[in-house]
Each structure stands twice: as structure tokens, then as C-alpha cells.
Amino acid sequence: MIDIVKIYKDFIRKQATSGGRRPGLHVSDLVSDCLRKPYYRMNDTVVREHDDDTIDNFFYGTAVHKAFDGMVPNMEYHMCINPFDESIEDVIVDIKKEMKKNPYKWVSGSADAIINDEVILDFKTCTKLPSKNHVSYMKQINFYSYMYYLHTGIEITKGANLFLEKTSGFHSIKLFEFDLQPLDVNREVMMYAMDTIANEEPPDKEPSFFCKWCPYIDICKPYN
């Protein structure tokens, strides 16, 4: 008997975790208040397998991003920079080698959409639409603006997060628009996070609602 449920579960696990382990820092490593999490990841700490809820959550995000491919011309804009000497790399080229050599100096990331070089947009899926935007989501777009500037020389001053509610079948949406920080501020904040993650000592734990999706929760025991 063919186990169709297993085929389905295996497929969404593969889709949700595709891309494998990243060799260097990613923007998502830098935006959380908790820099202990990327510290663990960069130090090869053993992680638990993601549970089904976490996989489902990742899968929704992956599915939504694929569904919106082509909505505006500049979707999934990939970037890779070194803020310390302001260099850039084409992420399509083999940046992995450079990142392995110096993993704490390079950061990569993909903005969901760059609209007319005026707004950087990022989608967020959620179970219930929030009443306000989350600071880490705004930080993420701020960092993209600095990365985009290094790649193109274009300064974008507006950011937006479009929240899509899973429980309504993505019918209910909410848009938050905001002004971006100056580029030099974003550069400083990025470098501070990168330096902190590179320390030998682990950064402080910063427990939050994101802990439930953290693969290091078992070793971290954030509320002890």
C-alpha cells in the first residue's frame, strides 16, 4: 500500500528546509533580538529536528513566496555584502567559498520585492493579523536597503511588510509601511550584530515568542 501521507509529509519537509545549511551569516541571523541563536548556528551546535508545526510554518512561507513570483519585476532580489569593507558579491557566483573563508564578514539575503526602486517589500504569513509591525521585520528591510545600496548605488527610503493571514486562506491582509533608517545607521547596526555573533563568548539569551521556532530551544532552555 502506498503511504500517500508520508509522501506528502516528506515533500513539505524537503520544500520547507530546501537550501540546506548556509555557510555564512544571513540577514535573518542579524535581525532577531536574540543573537545567541545565530551564535549557536555558526558554532555548529547540534540542533533538534524541526517538529511538524515548525515545518508547516516554514512551508506556508515558502509556498507564498513561490505563489507571488512575478507580482512585480524585481522579486526575490538576492544580495551578498561585506559591510566592513563595503564589498559585494554576486550570490549566483560561488560566494560560498568566500563565506567559508571568512564567515563572520559576509552576509547574504533576499528581499522579497523591490518596487520601482522606491519601496522594499517583504511578505509575512501569520495566523492572526497583528495590530502593529514587529521591530525585527522592520530591521530586516532596513538591512536590505543598505545591501541594495551597495549593490546598485540606489538609496531606497521606504519599507513595507504585507501580512497574509493563513487562517483566512490569505484573504485577510494587512500592510505596514514605514520610513527606513539612514544607510550609515543600518551599516553600524549590522556590523554590531556580526561582531557580537563572532565573539567567543555566547551572546545573552533574549527569550521571546520566536523561541518556539528556535531549533536550539532544548539546549538553550531560555526560561531557566
**Site residues (vs ligand SF4, CB under 6 A):** 34, 36-37, 205-207, 210-211, 214, 216-217, 220, 222
Radius of gyration, CA atoms only, the chain? 18
Pick 66 or 221: Cβ nearer ligand SF4: 221
Pick 27 or 147: Cβ nearer ligand SF4: 27
Pick 36 or 105: Cβ nearer ligand SF4: 36
Pick 103 or 207: Cβ nearer ligand SF4: 207
- Give me the least distance between CB of 69 and ligand SF4, in Å please: 30
- Give me the least distance between CB of 58 and ligand SF4, in Å please: 16
* Count of alpha carbons within 13 angstroms of residue 187, beta-carbon side: 15
Which segments of the chain does DSSP mark as H helices, in order?
4-16, 27-31, 36-42, 52-67, 95-101, 135-152, 183-198, 217-220
- Give me the least distance between CB of 192 and ligand SF4, in Å please: 17
- Identify the residue whose cell numbers are 544571513: 26
Which cell numbers in the block locate residue 3?
Answer: 503511504
- Give me the least distance between CB of 49 and ligand SF4, in Å please: 16
Cα 46-65-75 angle, rounded to 5 deg: 115
